[in-house]
Amino acid sequence: MIKRKTTTGAKTYEHVIERVDFTIERLDSTYESTEFQACTFGEVSGIAFTDCLFTACNLSNAQVAKCKAMDLTFRDCKLIGINFYQMLDFGFSLQFENCLMDYASFDGKKMNKSSFSNCRLHGANFSNADLSKASMTGCDLADAVFSGTNLSGMDFTTNRNFSIDPQLNMVRKTRFSANSLAGLLTKFDIVIE
C-alpha cells in the first residue's frame, strides 16, 4: 500500500493502493477513504469498504457475500458477473462510471442511492430491485432483465437497448425518449418504423 493523500475531482482520499493483485495478496478487513488503482480482486466477502474509489480495477466474478459497500465509486472497472445482491444492505451506495458490468445481478437490491453512467450492462439482472430515484444515463442494457423492478422516477432517456414490460415493473413517472419506446413494447412483437 502506498500511503499518501490523493485528490480526485473534489474528493481527497487518505490512501492509494496501486496495481495490487488481491487474488494473491491478502486484503485487510476494512478500508476507508482509499483509492484503488488498477487492482485485481477475487474475494471481498466480509470486507468493509467506506468512501472508496476503484479506478481501472478488475472485480469480475469477485465473491462479495456480506461485503459492506458504503459510498463507493467504480470508474472504468470490469465488474462482470458480480452478485451485488449478496452485499450488505446497510449504507449500500454505489456509483458506476464507464464500467463493464455484463451479467451483474442486483436481484432484490435497494439501489435508490446508486448511479450508473455510460456503463455496459448486457444481461444484467435487476429483477425485484428498487431503482426508484437512482440515476442511470447513457447505459447499454441489451438483454438486461427487469421484472418486478421499481423504476419509478428514473430517467431512461439516454439509455439504449433495453426491454422493459410496463405491466411487470413499476414505471410511474419514469422518463423515456420517443426513440426508445420500442423497448417498452417488445412483448407485443410489433414492428415500429
pLDDT value at residue 4: 53
Alpha-carbon Rg for the chain, nearest whole angstrom, is 17
- pTM to 2 decimals? 0.90
Q: What is the pLDDT of residue 185?
A: 53
Tell me the residue range of the domain where 63 lies.
Answer: 1-80
pLDDT tens digits, 139-175: 999 999 999 999 999 998 999 999 999 899 999 998 8
User: Are residue 121 and residue 46 in the same domain, yes or no?
Assistant: no
Given 80, 111, 145, which residue is the final one in a domain? 80
According to the model, what pLDDT value does residue 186 have? 60
Q: Which of 46-55, 139-148, 183-192 has the lowest mean pLDDT?
A: 183-192
Close Cβ partners of 128 (under 8 Å, ≥ 6 residues apart): 107, 108, 147, 148, 149
Last residue of a domain, one of 12, 46, 80: 80
Number of domains in the chain: 2
Does residue 12 surpass a pLDDT of 80?
A: yes
What is the rounded distance in angstroms from the CA atom of residue 127 to the CA atom of residue 89? 16
Domain for residue 192, yes or no?
no
Q: Which of 50, 80, 110 is the last residue of a domain?
A: 80
Q: Does 188 fall in a domain?
A: no
Question: 91: pLDDT confidence band, cut at 50, 70 and 90?
Answer: confident
- pLDDT above 60 (res 193): no
What's the chain's average pLDDT?
Answer: 90
pLDDT number for residue 102: 99
Query: What per-residue confidence (pLDDT) applies to 19?
Result: 97
> Quick one: average pLDDT of 115-128?
98
| DSSP-assigned states of every residue in 72-132 | EEEES-B-TT-BGGGS--TTB-EEEES-B-TT-B-TT-B-TT-EEES-B-TT-B-TT-B-T
Contact assessment for residue 113 and residue 93, using Cβ atoms and an 8 Å cutoff: yes
More confident residue, 178 or 98: 98
Mean local confidence (pLDDT), 6-32: 88
- Whether the pLDDT of residue 16 is over 60: the answer is yes
Which amino acid belongs to residue 181?
L
Residue 179 domain-assigned? Answer: yes
Share of the chain above pLDDT 70, in %: 88
The predicted model gives 56-67 an average pLDDT of 97
